[in-house]
Structure 1
Amino acid sequence: MKKLLLLFIAITFTLSGVAVAQSGQFNALLFTKTDGWHHESINEGVDAIRELGERHMFHVNWQEMTGVFTDEGLSNYDVIIFLNTTGDVLNEDQQAAVERFIQSGKGFVGIHSASDTEYEWEWYTQLVGRMFKTHPKIETAEITVRENNFPGLERYPKSRWWTDEWYEFGEEKADGLNYLITVDEDTYDVTDDWGQGRAKGMGDFHPVAWYHEFDGGRSFYTAMGHMPENYRDDLFLEHIWGGILWAATGKGL
């Protein structure tokens, strides 16, 4: 009798989980594996994105293991989110599965150090759009919204003071990047030398968020999100939610 009761409970929870996943707008794979610097903000970011899923009715599956990166495993998802990943995290077979995922018309979201990931995977660098080079110390600076008709930026002020780690990027890796937010280098000290490379700024145009269509799918990236405190800011979370919505569904433009 006890075994039958346990079996009934297990089946009930399984069916309940399926119902939740099916009732959502879409399914997101949240990936946070690191092979280098490990951001202390990862847990706060995971909690925040899970809360976004509850608020906006999409299902979030958090993974740090790479076994899900197969054609079959990824078939359950509409968008892959790389949250503060670093280094070489996927093997060649797993990389090929991600390429086919995007080519099937699905989406990618990169947050902060997603641009400090997989430098040797040329397709990935094109998917992200630009790659991290270096950064100065954490500072408060003025950011400017260049395109507030993108989802999640409708309520953003034209300019805002924000504290973060301001990435300096290399050249564009893909054509057609649509820039959403820039940071004003006149409002913070762009110089530093901490061993990764001397930070000297990017000049008059320093982007920190963008999106583009790529290889049949969609890609959104924001460089903000270094600090745990960032993930308690409602406007920043709207920015992330808008990127997830567009990448997963193409809605909002």
Structure 2
Amino acid sequence: MKIKVILLAVIFSTSVVWANPLTKKRVLVYTKNGKGFVHTNIAASVTAFIKIGQLNNLIVDVSNDPSVMNNKNLSKYSCLIFSNTNNEIFDNEQQRQDFATYIRNGGAFVGIHIASGSERNWPWFHEMIGGLFIRHPAYQLFDIKVIDKKHPATTMLPAVWKKEDECYFMTELNPISQVLLAADLRTVIDSEKSIYPGRTFGDYFPLAWCHEFEGARVFYTALGHDEKDYSEPLFVQHLTGGLLWALGKN
């Protein structure tokens, strides 16, 4: 009798697993660029996110076609990753509104590097992503201070991360953002530093942050200019932590 009960229990538990398989979350890596400068790092970033997906039980789709920005298609995705999108990245107003609807319905968003230079004439987008790119000094080695050591995107980083990259300066910074990383401007060589940012932010300028915006979790990092960044373990861990946070996997 006990054997029968045990067998029934095993069969029942197995049938429950079969009936409710663990479903993978699906994310979209979007890489559309409008007229203007296009980063050569896009292919490397796509490869990195595909590997991140494989290691974290995620299905990763990739597109640079604005037609994917429609309500029906976007409903498939748990997160949109704008990897080095730049300038005009939507074809029409309906696509913009469908993207905004996705955000307002609780969809997650991750922005990488020049994604902050996307849709420069759309204030809502700047507010959502957290800022609007305006310029950067020359690519160089500088110090990055970890502001929040407890976030999944920063726990693996040293207190001061010495990294070669472009130090992005932005306007329209959203005050709700939780700053994660900041450039130590004392270590940045920039002939126009006194013009902007000057002393506006003291010795530091935000480089990575997160916030909740109109129902969506948003993570952004200004880092990632060079192709080699996307095979550098520390930077890939930084991206992975940001993505998993956006997906709600703390």
Q: Residue in 1 aligned with 2:63? A: 63
Which structure 2 residue ranges, 5 or more long, are not aligned? Answer: 1-20
Q: How many residues align?
A: 225
Q: Distance in 1 between matches of 2:96 and 2:119?
A: 10
Shift of 1:171: 3.3
Which letter does structure 1 place at the counterpart of 2:175? Answer: D
Q: Residue in 2 aligned with 1:244? A: 243
CA RMSD of aligned residues (A): 1.7
Does structure 1 retain, via aligned residues, the 8 Å contact 2:126–2:172? Answer: no
Q: Residue in 2 aligned with 1:213? A: 212
Percent identical: 34
Q: Distance in 2 between matches of 1:200 and 1:32?
A: 29
Does structure 1 retain, via aligned residues, the 8 Å contact 2:29–2:81? Answer: yes
TM-score using structure 1 length: 0.84
Does structure 2 retain, via aligned residues, the 8 Å contact 1:152–1:238? Answer: yes
Does structure 2 retain, via aligned residues, the 8 Å contact 1:136–1:199? Answer: no
Which letter does structure 2 place at the counterpart of 1:168? Answer: F
Which letter does structure 2 place at the counterpart of 1:251? Answer: K
Q: Deviations over 1:122-180 (max 9, x none)?
A: 211111111111111100001111112111322211112100011111132x3311000
In the TM superposition, 1:137-176 aligns within 5 A as: 137-172=138-173, 174-176=174-176
Q: Residue in 1 aligned with 2:89? A: 89
Q: Distance in 2 between matches of 1:188 and 1:25?
A: 42
Q: Distance in 2 between matches of 1:240 and 1:132?
A: 19
Shift of 1:251: 2.8
Which letter does structure 2 place at the counterpart of 1:80? Answer: L
Which letter does structure 2 place at the counterpart of 1:57? Answer: N
Compare 57-66 and 184-193 and name the one that shifted more. Answer: 184-193
Does structure 1 retain, via aligned residues, the 8 Å contact 2:139–2:166? Answer: yes
Compare 148-157 and 26-35 and name the one that shifted more. Answer: 148-157
1:52 counterpart SS class: helix
Q: Distance in 2 between matches of 1:203 and 1:232?
A: 33
Shift of 1:192: 5.3
From the superposition, tell whether residues 230 and 192 of structure 1 become closer, same or farther in structure 2 (CA, over 3 Å): farther
Q: Residue in 1 aligned with 2:104? A: 103
In the TM superposition, 1:129-140 aligns within 5 A as: 129-140=130-141
Which letter does structure 1 place at the counterpart of 2:151? Answer: F
Shift of 1:25: 3.7
TM-score using structure 2 length: 0.85
Does structure 2 retain, via aligned residues, the 8 Å contact 1:190–1:200? Answer: no
Q: Distance in 2 between matches of 1:77 and 1:216?
A: 15
Q: Residue in 2 aligned with 1:185? A: 185
1:161 counterpart SS class: strand
Runs of 4+ in 1 over 6 A off after TM superposition: none
Q: Distance in 2 between matches of 1:77 and 1:105?
A: 11
Shift of 1:186: 1.1
Which letter does structure 2 place at the counterpart of 1:165? Answer: E
Which structure 1 residue ranges, 5 or more long, are not aligned? Answer: 1-21
Q: Distance in 2 between matches of 1:37 and 1:45?
A: 17
Q: Deviations over 1:10-49 (max 9, x none)?
A: xxxxxxxxxxxx8554111100011121101111111011
Structure of greater Rg: 2
Q: Distance in 2 between matches of 1:232 and 1:132?
A: 25
In the TM superposition, 1:5-154 aligns within 5 A as: 25-35=24-34, 36-90=36-90, 91-154=92-155
Q: Distance in 1 between matches of 2:152 and 2:96?
A: 28
